[in-house]
Amino acid sequence: MIKTKSVQTRANTIARLDKDIIRVARRKGIEMTLQDLQEISVVYNQILINQQGKFLIIVDDECDSEVGFIKKMAEVERSKVKKAGALIVNSLGKRLEANFYIRRYKPSHAVKVFSSEREGLDWLMAI
């Protein structure tokens, strides 16, 4: 597995783990905004060179997202970048939020919720 140096944004630490797997770790206590989404989209395109990728997204129990951010995450245009997303959550509350996001907004790319990075990474590598 390849690991590139990480890129720090206001709200995330982003690193390439493999040719098409990107690890995104949300920073503690940060509320994700639409501006953050624009910033990470630029980073994704730089890392993936405008190709689709699979995303291992670690969601801290203390981070939140604006409603506009959550809605934008599920838009069809995001499937140009995202082939799949593994959401790693450690609390029941964040698991409920993640499952609500999947059911309510029905992202056009595959999304599953996991309790550990290993489970999420195994799933991403299998698809």
Residue of higher predicted confidence among 50 and 27: 27
| CATH of segment(s) 7-126 | 3.30.750.24
Q: How confident is the model at residue 60 (pLDDT cuts 50, 70, 90)?
A: confident
**Which has the minimum average pLDDT: 1-15, 25-39, 85-99?**
1-15
pLDDT for 7: 93
pLDDT for 65: 81
Could you tell me the pTM of the whole model?
0.87
Q: Spell out the domain ranges in the chain.
A: 7-126
Q: Rounded to an integer, what distance in angstroms lies between the CA atom of residue 127 and that of residue 119?
A: 13
pLDDT for 4: 66
Q: What is the mean pLDDT of the chain?
A: 88
Q: How confident is the model at residue 25 (pLDDT cuts 50, 70, 90)?
A: very high
Tens of pLDDT, residue by residue over 63-118, are: 778 777 777 776 767 668 889 999 999 999 889 988 988 898 888 889 999 999 99
Torsion angles phi and psi, residue 83, rounded to 5: -90, -35
Q: Rounded to an integer, what distance in angstroms lies between the CA atom of residue 16 and that of residue 14?
A: 7
- Alpha helix ranges (H) inside the chain: 34-48, 67-73, 92-105, 117-126
